[in-house]
A and B are shown apart, each in its own frame.
Chain A
């Protein structure tokens, strides 16, 4: 597989599920875990992405989203340009200090459940621009789920990052409206 691997941060792979198993008794535990994995499966394969494109990685995003290397094969092809209808905030390209408040506003206006994918080295760590104008990594501004390295990352790395995010969603402890949230 070409290029670097995408890395999903804080991947509580198995931990989310196992905690839940200990809490309830056998029959209730079976229902909730089944319900949880169904919900995870449903959310995993219908990710609507909000492409927050700023710089050169946008060109690579165009290739990754278009016919040649298709994002749509994994259910994430449908780009929604309003945060109200998007699940995944795809931050593509350098985020400068002037753009940071815009990024935080868009992130906060996204509806839950939401995930963030950092696309390209500039979003992961500021990349080759270590100077007064660039935010050194968008995890200073918003919490990030998956980091995709590369400047720009090859479309295959982007697909790999997407698969890592889907895996994380599948094994995550799902949320729903009246669920007793952890204190």
Chain B
């Protein structure tokens, strides 16, 4: 068991760092700039992008973490008393209130 971990761990690490060791690095000013099909950049400063993307990403993160807590709970759901159900419902209730608040506030409108 241990041997498998050692061999494949070593192989994984080697593959990751072999590139860093073998690749010759010759930095030059153009290489550091982003690649835009080779044509000159249209904006000198950083390209702005609309705020609604950040909002959606943040809300997704929030509710994704919420779902993660369900997994361990669901595993041991069979052996637990009814009280665990009430605890999880309370936890769920708090987040549903947040969800409705975000909905009302119009965080999900896209246009």
Contacts and interface: CB of A to CB of B under 8 A. Distances in A.
Nearest to B30: A108
- Residue in B20, B21, B30, B33 whose Cβ sees the most chain A Cβ within 10 Å: B30
Contact of A177 (B25, B30, B37, B38): B25
A108 B21 contact: no
8 contacts: A39-B22, A102-B37, A105-B38, A108-B28, A108-B30, A109-B33, A176-B22, A178-B21
A178 B40 CA distance: 33
Q: Please report whether the interface of chain B is mostly helix, strand, loop or mixed according to DSSP.
A: loop
B30 to A, nearest CB: 4
Contact of A176 (B24, B30, B38): B24
B35 interface: yes
Contacts of A175: 24
B35 A82 contact: yes
B86 to A, nearest CB: 54
A112 B23 contact: yes
B21 A177 contact: yes
A102 B38 contact: yes
A126 interface: no
Interface residues of B, number: 16
A175 B21 CA distance: 11
A178 B37 CA distance: 31
B26 interface: yes
Contacts of B22: 39, 176-177
B30 A105 contact: yes
Interface string B1-40: 0000000000000000000111111101011010101111
A102 B39 contact: yes
A177 B23 contact: yes
A176 B37 CA distance: 28
Nearest to A106: B38
A83 B35 CA distance: 8
